[in-house]
Amino acid sequence: MSKFHRFEQEVDGVEMPRQFTWPFHYVPARLSVLAAEQVMRDVAARANWAAELQAGKMLGVLVVHDRVGELGFLAAYSGNLCGRNDHDYFVPPVYDLLQPDGEFRRGEAAITAINHEIERLEQSAELTYLTQQHQLMQHERDEAIAAYKRQMAMSKVERDKCRAQGGLTADERQALLAESQFQKAELKRLRRHHEQILSEASRKLAEFQSRINRLKAERKRRSEALQERIFHLFVMRNARGERKDLMEIWGGALPPSGSGECCAPKLLQYAYRQGLQPVCMAEFWYGQSPVGEVRHHGHYYPACRSKCLPILTFMLQGLDVESNPLAEPADCDGLDIAHDDEWMSIVRKPAGMLSQPGKLLDDSVESRYRRRSDVCGPVVVHRLDQETSGLLVLAKNKTVHQTLQDLFASRRVTKTYIALLDGNVASDEGIIDLPLRPDVADRPRQMVDPVEGKPSITRWRVLERSGGITRVALQPLTGRTHQLRVHCSHPLGLNAPIVGDMLYGTAASRLMLHAWRLQFVHPITGQAIDITWKSPF
């Protein structure tokens, strides 16, 4: 079956993207949306895939022109689907890890055999016997020594009585001393005797365990060698016709597990191999959200950075790609100051501007503030996400900065945000308590984790409901990264992502989150500070 799919509906009037999609921060083009909707209809009709898809799977589409200029699209899924990576509707993998006689399967079989031998040894009667014997020898040693020490203690009591009564001859005193010396020497001999017996039991147990450890070391060596070999077999292409394997792309370091198996690399690789011209792409979630993560069925998400950023950076070379919007300076001049005194300022940060200079962009509230103000030391007291607008507190010297940070840390600052949520929130108000931690495999995303997560608490209240959109006021009682965004979108929170949140919801013209109000007592003057900035949406 052809991997090139024609659109089921007329697309002649649909606007063509001027540039190819920047995959790490994008609003999906209309053509990508139409292709994704067609893929979702197709997979929904396949009953044998239903269980796995409902459990959650990332799918992707790449709109392309074929060699004669006809418009169509390709489809892909991340990893495997129902134990296969060769389903006819989707593009094939870059390298087929599931080939029965392929290097991966052969290497995996050898590692599995080692696993089975390790498991056999760890569960063997011989190891159980050696472990029990070693524990028995330890117990007998400890009991024998303890018993002899009790005997020595009683003997000492008797000797002390004899000495206390007096009238001992020189020979009798010498006999008491000799008894004490003998018992101490006997204790040493007893220790040596049991240590010799225990040493033999320890040697036998250590020899057996060393067999297991050698197998584990061999398993690790084979696993790393297999991974490196497989990553050499993932040879990626770009639009210039250049090729690099994953080890080259990572500069010789071992890439993360699963690299090259996501949707975007699969789609581009197939397009380049078949001489198809990429137009735009999108990745979307199908099914339930994974535990701890935030994924909504049918919502579009950026490519993961941990695995795909190096790969796609290479594969996109030769295409006319949109610029990274997060690396573009904010479309505004200067800074809008809401409050200013000799110790601090409160500025109105527009959406799209960084709070502090980043890796890709120096333009920020802090850099602009330093250029216009006579400040020293740290400036930004708390941060707002680049896509969030609102009030931001800046300090003019190190001492004030620390004092203001202490205010925030001790929850003596009341911060109120306004947000538009994509969905109808049933209740009117409440408190969300969902601990958060970074998703180390896909930064900067955050995850809900009741074990490793840090406490994260948000108070919320509905302001208005209209047309499937809920306007809410949010008060974060803690200050975790993406706290409001995750608490709104997570199924155990409000289950309604903030409009425009491409990490946890669906992209739009902007993230509809605004830091509306700040309330606190000025740490120097004691003045009550209560400043608001009307929401722009």
pLDDT digits (tens, 9 = 90+) for 179-202: 999 999 999 999 999 999 999 999
Give the pLDDT band (50/70/90) at residue 405.
Answer: very high
What pLDDT is stored for residue 62 in this prediction?
Answer: 98
Mark whether 385 is an active-site residue: yes
DSSP state of 204: H
| Cβ–Cβ < 8 Å for 392, 349 | yes
pLDDT of residue 500: 94
Rounded to an integer, what distance in angstroms lies between the CA atom of residue 501 and that of residue 288? Answer: 18
Q: Which residue has the tokens 């409000």?
A: 494
| CA–CA distance, 273 with 270 (Å, rounded to integer) | 5
CA-CA distance, 413 to 528, in Å (whole number)?
11
As a whole number of angstroms, the distance between CA 314 and CA 296 comes to: 29
Give the pLDDT score at 332.
82
Q: Which of 66, 101, 142, 385 is catalytic?
A: 385
| pLDDT 10s digits, 289-325 | 888 889 999 999 999 999 999 999 999 999 999 999 8
Model confidence at 140: pLDDT above 80: yes
Question: Rounded to whole angstroms, how far apart are CA atoms 270 and 236?
Answer: 10
pLDDT tens by residue, 480-496: 999 999 999 999 999 99
Tell me, letter by letter, the H, E, C secondary structure of 160-191.
Answer: HHHHHHCCCCHHHHHHHHHHHHHHHHHHHHHH
pTM: 0.80
Using CA atoms, how far apart are residues 97 and 290, in angstroms rounded to an integer? 24
Q: Tell me the pLDDT tens digit for each residue of 150-178.
A: 999 999 999 999 999 988 899 989 999 99
Q: What is the pLDDT of residues 105-125, one digit of tens each?
A: 999 999 999 999 999 999 999
Contacts of 520 by beta carbon, 8 Å cutoff, 6+ apart: 407, 412, 413, 414, 529
pLDDT, average across residues 279-289: 96
Q: How many residues does the chain have?
A: 537
**Cis link prior to 378 (omega < 30° from 0)?**
no
Residue 274: its H or E element: helix 263-274
The dihedral of CA 264, 268, 274, 280: what is its sign?
Answer: positive
Which token pair is 92? 């094939």
pLDDT at 509: 86
CB 64 within 8 A of CB 277: yes
